[in-house]
Structure 1
Amino acid sequence: MNALVWLAIPLVPLLLAVLIGLRPHRTRFNRWLPWAALPGLVVAAVGGDVEPAVLDWLMLNTLLGLDPLGQAFLALTSGLWLAAGLFALGDRQDDPLRHRFYVFWLLALSGNLGLILAQDALSFYLFFSLMSLAAYGLVVHSNTAEAWWAGRIYLILAVVGEILLFAGFVMAIHQAGGDTRLTAIAEARPEGWGLALLVLGFGIKAGMLPLHFWLPLAHPAAPVAASAVLSGAMIKAGLLGWLRVLPLDETGHVLLGETLVLLGLSAAFLAALAGAVQSRPKTILAYSSISQMGLMTAGAGLALVLPDLRAWLLMAVTLYAVHHGFAKGALFLAAGMTTQRPAGGAARLAFFLFAVLPALALAGMPMTSGALAKNILKEPLYDADLAGWMAHTEFALTLAAAGTTLLMLRFLWRWYQAQQGTQAPPRADSRRWWAWGGLACMSLVFPLLGVAVAPPEQVPAWVVLTGLSLLWPIGVGLVLGLLAWRWARDRDRPWLPEGDLVVPLEWLAQTGQRLWHRHPALISVGRHPARLRWVRYRLRERLELAERVLTRWETIGLLFAAAMLGLYLTLWAG
């Protein structure tokens, strides 16, 4: 019975994807798109009462279950996918390719839910791969040149990430004595190349600097609902992977922890600066996600540096992930509501409130989920024993709110400008309004829950003090935002190209290609350019032959079977 409960969560979206994919029946099943995430939300609410299940008949003893960490991520993921799915029904209703979008949507949802439940490396990897590859269909859905370019960069990094994770898991499992359980891998303390590969593989999905550049390309290209789940839920899979396999025990790992803190804080500030000079609302939000994920990366690094405080820091990072997921999902849906602005009245007020509220939460305004999450993340650092540059981590985390405030001001201004010239629709789409408003109001739910569970004698102080320390960086961000607004408020072209690092990387690749084709003698060794041309011709001929062979389905199947056999032999040999 327990096995059926766990399997139902990822299988319901898969089954619905099959039904929508069947032409005679697809229309009648479209309406069920948002509710495919409902089983996950129900289990997240009562997850502690369902025992884990070992499926010894599925792959290598698949283990599915839910611990407190997974329960929080499942609640976020299920709730966000449900709301965004409801929005997608209204947003895609006139799209002739909506059925294709729905199929990729459901496949990505299945992978996202499954990896949260997975307690062993193989099932985690397979669900992670399903989510990553299915999301490609969401990125390229619009069939524009921009979408195909963004999809190309996304797919390259996704495949590289899968390769890194596969190799990292094989090494980590070998070090764990062949035990595929994620807890066993973490307890074995992966190190060396295995640890590095896992950090990098999950870092690509989490938008870790400098592997972040797929986000500012993919988010603007994807439909609004897809951007909401990409930024709010799917990139959290990289963070969850870190929390599952990193050596977060009583020993810690100072070098890795300090590296993650440095990369995280760098992303928090650099992405804020990069996003502040963008012009498209969704691109601004993409850089905001990189910045916010940087803070979570720093939190995970602190848990490695301060193992005595790891329980508190892991709780803080998890809470921050949930807060960011709902707030960022609401902001992306706001970007898709520019053509739905009401003519006036209470609906007009709610329209602006649903955009401003999650923006304030991300900035850390008191009495919002952002203030609660940021304060809990910084709380253990006041008395922490940190030396050198790490001693300034708490100040850096506080100052990052100034960059977030600047980003949110830029987003709201460009969002407001995007509405100019639009007329109120003759009939409001209630599905989009309910989805957007529900996510926006989540920014107030967490503080209210905090008041509900706090001891009565501490509630007044908690209500007053939550977030007060964040007021000064918000003020700094407001001043910077006003100065920037006066300087370049009407600039439509971004100061920095979207994707930032993609531009120099593309230039280097094109320059090398031109040198190879036009001046072979410049890169030849010796005095035989003619021989080099012959070698180049033969090499290209062989590569084209290899490409034709490798793209055959039977070759792909054999390679996959060989990879699975190699993994099995590695585990069996211990």
Structure 2
Amino acid sequence: MLLAGALAVPLGMLLACLWPRALNRMPSWLAFAPIPALAAALLAAQDSPLIVGSIRLHLTFALDLPGALLLGVAALLWIASGAYASPYLQDRPNRGRFAICWLMTLTGCIGVFLAADMVGFYFLLALLTIGACGLVVQHETPRAWRAGAVYIGLGLLAEALLLMGFVLLAAEIPGDSLLIRDAAAALPTSPQRDLILALLIGGFGIKAGLVPFHFWMPLAYSAAPTPASAVLNGAVVKASILGMIRFIPLQTATPGWGTALAAAGLFAALYGVVIGITQRNPKVVLAYSSVSQMGIIVAVIGMGMIAGDGRAALAAAFYAANHVLVKGALFLSAGVIAATGSRYLWRMLLPVAIIAVGLGGLPLTGGGLAKIVVDGPLGDSTASKVATLSAVGTTLLMLQFVRSLANTSSRDPEATAAAGLIWPWLAAAAASLVVPWTLFLAVPAGTLPDPLAPAVLWKALWPVLLGAVLAIALWRWVRQLPRVPAGDIAVAMDGATKLALACGTAMERMDSTLRQWPVAGVSLLSLVIALGAAMFAR
């Protein structure tokens, strides 16, 4: 019943939008839709699946530990962001359309976390993509339409790759089962293993924002409304991480693919920092930070594939859970700071700075705990050293975010944000500090290092201190940094697109000219003379 309620409530609210009166009131009810999902994450048994449909054609939903972990924190963020969205949407156009797209995205997000078979997973992932695209284009500006086009284009490409991988996997499963766990069990012995892994990693990698397919992140997150950016960055993108955890058999070592995935993740971890420090828009800075953080999560999964270590799944899920809450709170802060004047600015920036620097691994924060959890899969290899370098860069990038965020404050010194915006943001910020500790303390004693041990504290602290020093130095030379456009690679693609359009236009004009009778007749006559001359010459 808990699993059924988690899906039925947002889906029922979505169907209720068919009635105009319910549609008009729906923005005020968005915070209630994820509550059953939170209850399911906390209370539902992990060995009790929900089967919907007939014996021959049905969908299966169930919870595993990584899914419950991500579903719970995602539901918390959806609740806070839904409460934030209600006052945010007041007196704004297209409130009803926002609610419809929000509920589509929420239903797809919850469904992906619960889906236990490939058909349900794929269908709900497609529903999530369509709803998220609607949120990206909500403002209907040229920038929003461009971001939406890029988002849906890459989303369809990723889903096409995943569909081919799922079809090949279905052919390898004994019997007529389409369960994800059976597909993952059949993958290591499949003669098509390498092709299937390439398709899965490609599809989920695009969804996760791995370089060079990362450019949809800064475009989409900066164009979407603030509450939508929070859930898209915090919760929605984690569907790709859960997909990797469920479909890739981490218990079986695949060193070749693991090395490639870890290398791609670590490169993204550094690339996101390098491009992010050149940005001025705080939402774009957060987007490039997510490129970096998603790279670390993917690298952890890759290291698990190298060693055949199934524990990497929980480590990646814990790191992703912390990222859900922190990034959601930071995106919500953008709207709060924009409505706050200089008199109240610093008291609002203080919690932002704490959770932002915590993402770099500040001791006693959720980010510090997340670094401890992933230290095991990363080990003492080169990956661990690159992750430490990424922690330095993340601290630098987050301080750059705080600085750029302060520059967006209201010009009215006495301005204050509405209470309806402040309280959901503070709730999300508090959850980002409390929930990781709750999860960490639930781990059996002795399994992980003591986070209060002096050696552990110093190992987490020195990268943060180094990042802070570099940030202070950067602020003196920030004007000399190159201005990389948001979406970096997309700008080059825009140039290639314009060139292709110009070539197409030129070819169309040439074709129109050649199809004119005088030109076509002369061309045909010239061709006949040339052929005749060639025959006589022979």
TM-score of the aligned structures, taking structure 1 as reference length: 0.83
Distance 1:401-1:454 versus aligned 2 partners, 3 A rule: same
Instruction: List aligned pairs for 1:122-201, cutoff 5 A.
Output: 122-177=119-174, 178-189=176-187, 191-201=193-203
Give the Å deviation of 1:340.
Answer: 3.1
Aligned residue in 2 for 1:118? 115
Question: CA separation of 1:380/1:50 partners in 2, compared to 1, >3 Å: closer, same or farther?
Answer: closer
The aligned counterpart of 2:489 is 501
Deviation at 1:382, TM superposition (A): 3.9
Residue 231 of structure 1 corresponds to 233
Q: Deviations over 1:65-122 (max 9, x none)?
A: 1111111011021111111111111211121211110110011000000111110000
Residue number in structure 2 paired with 1:352: 349
How many percent of aligned residue pairs carry the same amino acid? 35
CA shift for structure 1 position 450: 6.5
Paired residue secondary structure (1:366)? coil
Counterpart of 1:180, as a letter, is L
Q: Which amino acid aligns with 1:27?
A: N
- What is the CA–CA distance in structure 1 between the aligned matches of 2:316 and 2:290, rounded to whole Å? 15
Matches within 5 A, 1:237-316: 237-249=239-251, 251-307=252-308, 309-311=309-311, 313-316=312-315
**Matches of 2:351 and 2:269, distance apart in 1:** 25
Contact 1:403 1:477 in 2 (8 A): yes
Once the two structures are overlaid, the 10-residue window that deviates more, 350-359 or 328-337, is: 350-359
CA contact (8 A) 1:45 1:75 kept: yes
Aligned to 1:205: 207
**What value does the CA root-mean-square deviation take over the aligned residues?**
2.6
Task: Find the counterpart in structure 1 of residue 527 from structure 2.
Answer: none
Paired position in structure 2 for 1:572: none
Question: Relative to 1, partners in 2 of residues 1:163 and 1:478: Cα closer, same or farther, differing over 3 Å?
Answer: same
Structure 1 residue 532, shift from structure 2 partner: 11
1:66 aligns with 2:66: no
Query: 1:198-243: CA deviations, max 9, x gaps?
Result: 2111111111111111111000000011001111011110111111
Match of 2:334 in 1: 335
Cα distance in 2 for partners of 1:109, 1:510 equals 36
- Report what 2:387 is aligned to: 397
Which amino acid is the alignment partner of residue 449 of structure 1? T
Q: 2:332 is aligned with what amino acid?
A: L
1:506 deviation in Å?
Answer: 1.9
TM-score relative to the length of structure 2: 0.89
Query: CA distance change for structure 1 residues 57 and 471 in 2, over 3 Å: closer, same or farther?
Result: same
| Shift in Å, 1:350 | 4.5
438, 448, 451: which is aligned to 1:449? Answer: 438
Query: Where do 5+ consecutive residues of structure 2 fail to align?
Result: 516-538
CA contact (8 A) 2:238 2:320 kept: yes
Q: CA deviation at 1:49?
A: 6.7
Cα gap change, 1:39/1:507 in structure 2, threshold over 3 Å: closer, same or farther?
same
CA contact (8 A) 1:372 1:467 kept: no
**2:319 is the counterpart of 1:320:** yes
1:417 to 393, 407, 414: 407
The amino acid that maps onto 1:396 is V
Q: Aligned equivalents of 2:440 and 2:269: distance in 1? A: 29
What aligned pairs does 1:28-39 form with structure 2 within 5 A after superposition?
Answer: 28-39=25-36
1:342 shift after superposition = 6.2
Q: Indicate if the aligned counterparts of 1:334 and 1:354 stay in contact, CA closer than 8 A.
A: no
Q: Which amino acid aligns with 1:209?
A: V
**Any idea what the Cα deviations from partners look like across 1:439-481, whole Å, max 9, x if unmatched?**
1122321464378557899999532444421322222222221
Shift of the alpha carbon at 1:343? 6.7
Aligned-partner Cα distance in 2 for 1:242–1:379: 19
What amino acid maps onto 1:480 in structure 2?
L
- Are the structure 2 counterparts of residues 173 and 415 from structure 1 closer, same or farther at C-alpha, using a change threshold of 3 Å? same
Q: Is the 8 A contact 1:370 1:443 kept in 2?
A: no
Residue equivalent to 1:561? none
CA distance in 2 between counterparts of 1:396 and 1:300 reads 15
SS in 1 for 2:102: helix
Q: Give the Å deviation of 1:268.
A: 0.4
Q: Equivalent residue for 2:465?
A: 475
Deviations 1:174-207 (A, max 9, x none): 1223421000110011613222112111111111
- How many residues were matched structurally? 510
Structure 1 residues 499 and 348 mapped into 2: Cα distance closer, same or farther (>3 Å)? closer
CA contact (8 A) 1:342 1:351 kept: no
Query: Are residues 342 and 501 of structure 1, via their aligned partners in 2, closer, same or farther at CA, if it must alter by over 3 Å?
Result: closer
2:19 aligned residue? 22
Please state whether the residue corresponding to 2:310 is helix, strand or coil.
Answer: helix
Are 1:265 and 1:396, in contact at CA under 8 Å, matched by a contact in 2? yes
- Which residue matches 1:552? none
Q: CA-to-partner distance for each residue in 1:490-531, whole Å, 9 max, x for gaps? A: x8x97101111111122122213323433689xxxxxxx769
Measured in 2, the distance between the counterparts of 1:107 and 1:120 equals 20
Residue 403 of structure 1: how far off its partner (Å): 1.0
Give CA deviations for 1:275-328 in whole Å, capped at 9, x if unaligned.
Answer: 100110100000000100000000010110011x331x2221111000011000
- Structure with higher Rg: it is 2
| Whole-angstrom CA distance in 1 between matches of 2:511 and 2:333 | 60
In the TM superposition, what whole-angstrom CA distance separates every residue of 1:354-373 from its partner, at most 9, and x where no partner exists? 31122021111000010111
Please give the secondary structure, in 1, of the residue aligned with 2:60. Answer: strand
